[in-house]
Homo-oligomer: A and B are copies of this chain.
């Protein structure tokens, strides 16, 4: 008795896509088809009709397409959003009286029954629709009524002329398109899809610290950083992500290797945001002026690169907010502001924000203003630092609020926390999310994790971004595996995931941890300038360039739900493919063992590749440009650590 649906003969159930009973928006990419399915049925024997109604953010009214029955009361329809923003859809279903009448009449005719009375029933159904038709349409149907009411065939052998309208496609289509919807049922509330641009789903990220683009003794600037952009563009990256570029506090500043006592020359952590020079809307003076930043963004844009900024809602003790808005912080019993802690660890250089303070309304508006400030400077992508330690409600409010006017925005959640919390952030509005990828190195755990990400509910709202390393995460696999490990992880990230990222230094195979068992870099760039010579021998840059080139040429790699595994008889060999609806198929085979060659046999799933089961496969290896011919469904592969991966373009 809870829903209006209950009073109807019709049920609309299990509508997809939706998550958590429609509580959250699902996600889609502009230009991609949104496929809608639902269980729709009614009591009794009558047929039904159903339509999908869709409305884009700029549409004044609903547009409508007919749903088709697939099987077992499951119906299908789709729409292709051409506009960014929030799209709504719903379903309306009603009893198809004309279709039911027609179906039954055909059966009666086949059984040789006298149908005179039934034809009159049909004539009345048609007559009732005449007022809703145009003049020419009405003429067609009025004629049909006349035929239905005509005299029967003179003999039993002849075809009954009165049946002609039942087979007349025009009559059927007119009756369908003007079907009587009395007693129709509409799915309420409607469901919503947030439609993002392609970059929300796919892209290659490159993280670097602008301050490290100077010399060992000279702080980098936006000007020197701009000079690094061509190198990054040549490698094929789509996005450069910059750690915070704001003034850095000096109180309790951390020194090299996270030491508590900094030297006067120490540059401090960019995440200790705020000083007398300003807060989140200001620039660190040593990086340059706002004009320099604007030029940096313009230079990136010319190279086809977007700039992503870090959004870290926390303050150094020197942040202007500390004095202007002490109420925005947590306080200890003695009245002092509470610094960040993860007991027993203390982070005296950072003050976290209290999102429920007495001035919360002003705080939320100020944070939104900060984002709008950077948006006004051309930034459309924000990598949000530790969003799980902020307020769920704030994220939902600020992301969906900003996207109303700026639907092109992309928010990446840097939350390495419990699975349900990470999922919640994605549901609440984050466009992309960091993942557990760095900690998934064995075949079984890669398969298990990618299955979770690419099937079931998650692809509806959670878009993974596979970073191979970050300033915080140098995985042991890279520490011990040498150059092969770097290639392996790069191929896995870039081929498995439509969006992946590299933190600078990866191409130089940097892999020294601060201590055994730690994932922190020695001389972490978080606390020091780290200018690098990218022209050294043995750089991974050419390999990265090749991989990004393959990604750009093959749209199948910008999708996730098309991922399919191919069985290999060895634990250290993994094989997977991605195919596009245009018939393109990429098959990747990776040796997960960075220390030794591995050989094995792949059982090729030709269905997954969409290729002919009988013909030989022409396998074009895209890294080496070699071509192999595979016969049958079993293929022998041997991969050495030096070339630990094959990326095949499959031609069936």
Q: Which residues of A contact B (CB under 8 A)?
A: 1-3, 5-9, 11, 13-14, 20-23, 39, 41-45, 72-73, 103-105, 107-108, 110-111, 113, 117, 120-121, 124, 183, 189, 332-334, 341-344, 356, 388-393, 396-397, 400, 418-421, 424
**B43–A23 contact, CB under 8 A?**
no
Q: Which residues of B have CB within 8 Å of A14?
A: 20
A333–B389 CB distance below 8 A: no
Contacts of A45 in B (CB 8 A): 342, 389
Please give me the residue from chain B that is nearest to A3 by CB atom. Answer: B23
A578 to chain B, nearest CB (A): 30
Q: Nearest chain-B residue to A331 (Cβ)? A: B121
Taken together as a complex, chains A and B put the C-alpha atoms of A45 and B388 apart, in Å, by 9
Assess A104 versus B1: contact at CB under 8 Å? Given A43-B390, A117-B334, A421-B73.
no
Report yes or no: B6 in contact with A396, Cβ–Cβ below 8 A. Answer: yes
Of all chain B residues, the one with the shortest Cβ separation from A388 is B43
> Which residue of chain B has its CB nearest to the CB of A8?
B393
The distance in angstroms between the C-alpha atoms of A341 and B419, with both chains bound, is: 56
In the complex, the chain B residue whose C-beta lies closest to that of A105 is B343
Does B43 lie within 8 Å of A392, measured CB to CB? Answer: yes
Q: Report which residue of A72, A104, A343 has the largest number of chain B beta carbons within 10 angstroms of its beta carbon.
A: A343
Whether A420 pairs with B7 at a CB distance below 8 angstroms is no
Contacts of A22 in B (CB 8 A): 2, 21
* Contact in complex: A124, B333 (CB < 8 Å): yes
**A177, B109: Cα distance in complex, Å:** 75
Cβ 8 A contact of A344, one of B110, B341, B390: B110
Among B42, B121, B333, B344, point to the contact of A117 (Cβ < 8 A).
Answer: B333
A103 vs B342: C-alpha distance when bound (angstroms) = 11
Select one of B21, B397, B418 contacting A72, CB under 8 A: B418
A344 touches B107 (CB 8 A): yes
Other than the given A43-B388, A105-B343, 5 more pairs (CB < 8 A) read: A2-B22, A2-B23, A9-B392, A13-B424, A73-B418
List, in ascending order, chain B residues with CB within 8 A of A341's CB: 104
Q: Do B120 and A333 have beta carbons less than 8 Å apart?
A: yes
Q: Do B420 and A39 touch across chains, with their CB atoms under 8 A apart?
A: yes
A420 neighbours in B (Cβ, 8 Å): 11, 13, 39, 41, 72-73
Q: How far is the CB of A414 from chain B (nearest CB, A)?
A: 14
Closest CB of chain B to A387's CB: distance in Å? Answer: 8
| Minimal Cβ-Cβ distance residue in B for A21 | B21
Separation in Å of the A390 CB from the closest CB of chain B? 7
Docked pose: A40 CA to B346 CA in angstroms: 28
On whether the beta carbons of A20 and B9 are closer than 8 Å, the reply is no
Q: A419 contacts which of B6, B72, B108, B391 (Cβ < 8 Å)?
A: B72
| Cross-chain contact A356 with B8 (CB below 8 angstroms) | no
- Rounded to whole Å, the gap between the CB of A616 and the closest CB of chain B is 36
Contact with A393, one of B7, B108, B356, B392 (Cβ below 8 angstroms): B7
How near does chain B come to A318, taking the closest CB pair, in angstroms? Answer: 23
Q: Which of B44, B104, B393 lies in contact with A343, CB distance below 8 A?
A: B104
Q: Give the docked Cα–Cα distance between A599 and B3 (Å).
A: 55
Known contacts A20-B13, A393-B8, A421-B73: A343-B108 contact under CB 8 Å: yes
Residues of B within 8 A of A113 (CB): 344
User: Do B104 and A388 have beta carbons less than 8 Å apart?
Assistant: no
Alpha-carbon gap, A421 to B48, bound state (A): 14
A343–B107 contact, CB under 8 A? yes
Task: Check B389 against A41 for contact (C-beta < 8 Å).
Answer: no
Looking at the assembled complex, report how far the CB atom of A526 sits from the nearest CB atom of chain B, in whole angstroms. Answer: 21
Query: In the assembly, what is the distance between CA of A113 and CA of B420, in Å?
Result: 33
Report the Cα distance A189→B120, complex, angstroms.
50
Residues of B within 8 A of A44 (CB): 388-391
Shortest distance between the CB of A126 and any CB in chain B (Å): 13
Q: Which 4 A-B pairs have the closest CB atoms?
A: A111-B344, A21-B21, A107-B343, A120-B333
B9–A391 CB distance below 8 A = yes
- In the complex, what distance in Å separates the CA atom of A419 from the CA atom of B332? 61
Nearest chain B CB to A155 CB, angstrom units: 21
Q: Give the docked Cα–Cα distance between A11 and B426 (Å).
A: 13
What are the residues of chain B within 8 A of A389 when measuring CB–CB?
43-45
Of B121, B334, B418, B424, the residue contacting A332 (CB under 8 A) is B121
Once bound together, how far apart are the Cα atoms of A419 and B2, in whole Å?
23
A81–B390 CA distance with the chains assembled, in angstroms: 40
CA separation between A277 and B1, bound complex, in Å? 37
Cα–Cα distance between A80 and B113 once the two chains are bound (Å): 60
**Chain B positions within 8 Å of A189 at CB level:** 2
A418 to B73, CA, bound (A): 8
Which B residues lie within 8 Å of A391 (CB)?
Answer: 9, 43-44
Residues of B within 8 A of A393 (CB): 6-9
Residues of B within 8 A of A124 (CB): 333
| Least Cβ–Cβ distance between A423 and chain B, in angstroms | 9
